[in-house]
Structure 1
Amino acid sequence: MTSGVDEFAEFVAARGTSLLRTAHLTCGSPGEAEDVLQSALERAYRHWDRLGRGDDPEPYIRRIIVNLAISRARRRAIMRLIPTHTPPERPAAREDVELRHVLMDGLRALAPRQRAVLVLRFWEDMTEAQAAKTLGCSVGTVKSQTSKALARLRTLLGEDVVHSVGS
């Protein structure tokens, strides 16, 4: 029989990379993502006796990650003005690396909740219902936030860049 510490360690070893990816895409920077993931795992560990025995703990931990990322973004916005990136006159070259940088800049320009919805829906490939459960909101909210976020990205990056992501 494994202890709670061993079960938690096994969970982190198995799902840590995926959780870090979610944190990185939600936060926008690798360093901040590591901090958010560490805080989320710390919170989850404190309640692992309940989480480990119940259903899959991953959605709960993803929700912690998203909430922490949104809270951090709000604190930064209160403490200082966040400069916005102006879109280039022409979209960047279509090479994968350059496109990734353009998309990351676009994601950083979105409101934290909109960024979280896009990350969960398109990078984590969640359904609207799964994203709603993770975010603790209704499916309608996920739909409207997705629509608004994509419209904002189209304005920032141009229709052809946003369309090329789906290809």
Structure 2
Amino acid sequence: MDLLSADEEYTAYVRGRLLWLRRIAYSLCQDWHRADDLVQTSITRLYVKWRHARQAADLDAYVRVMLVRVFLKEQRGGWFSRTRLSAAPPEAVAHGWDADLTMDLRRALALVPPRQRATLVLRFHCDLSVEQTAAALGCSTGTVKSQTARGLATLRELLDVTPAKEDR
């Protein structure tokens, strides 16, 4: 395949998945501007690796892993903590949703440590299995399970929610 058709293929893929990537990025960082930056960095890296990436068995999974790794690398690098001036107001919520609950959940999710947040977003927003999440994060399934449990416990604590007891 020549360079022009590879570029066209890349452009078509990115155009079709841009909103999906942006939503995932927002779920990770809780800031639309920062989400755009994460997506931009990810699709730039994707372009550089396009010849290899387009041969992946699951291209969406490949790109999602790139996005999560960009987010986690940024968190470790300290850039975010030095440049964030103030929290952005929450974006408008779709009709039919409980706006207060959504805002509370977004605020609480933003306070969950980055690795736990990434695990929660992949498990519950992206609906990945434990194994798929482990592959995306480059860790063991046990780590995914413990990060999920800790992340959910943190969310419950922040939201002041007590888990329901199972009736026996």
Q: TM-score, normalised by structure 2?
A: 0.81
Distance 1:66 1:132 in 2: 12
Partner of 1:54 in structure 2? Answer: 56
8 Å CA contact 2:56–2:62 kept in 1: the answer is no
1:28 deviates by 1.3
**Structure 2: gaps of 5 or more residues:** 87-96
Distance 1:68 1:54 in 2: 19
How many residues get paired? Answer: 151
SS in 1 for 2:55: coil
1:60 deviates by 1.9
Distance 1:99 1:145 in 2: 23
8 Å CA contact 1:25–1:119 kept in 2: the answer is yes
Please, what is the CA RMSD of the aligned residues? 2.4
Cα gap change, 1:66/1:82 in structure 2, threshold over 3 Å: closer, same or farther? farther
8 Å CA contact 1:4–1:52 kept in 2: the answer is no
**Structure 1: gaps of 5 or more residues:** 84-94
Query: For each residue in 1:53-111, what CA deviation from the matched residue of structure 2 results, as whole angstroms up to 9, or x when unmatched?
Result: 3322222211121122122223147648999xxxxxxxxxxx61111111111111011
1:13 deviates by 2.0
Runs of 4+ in 1 over 3 A off after TM superposition: 76-83
Q: TM-score, normalised by structure 1?
A: 0.81
Query: For each residue in 1:130-152, what CA deviation from the matched residue of structure 2 results, as whole angstroms up to 9, or x when unmatched?
Result: 11111111111110000000011
Partner of 1:137 in structure 2? Answer: 139
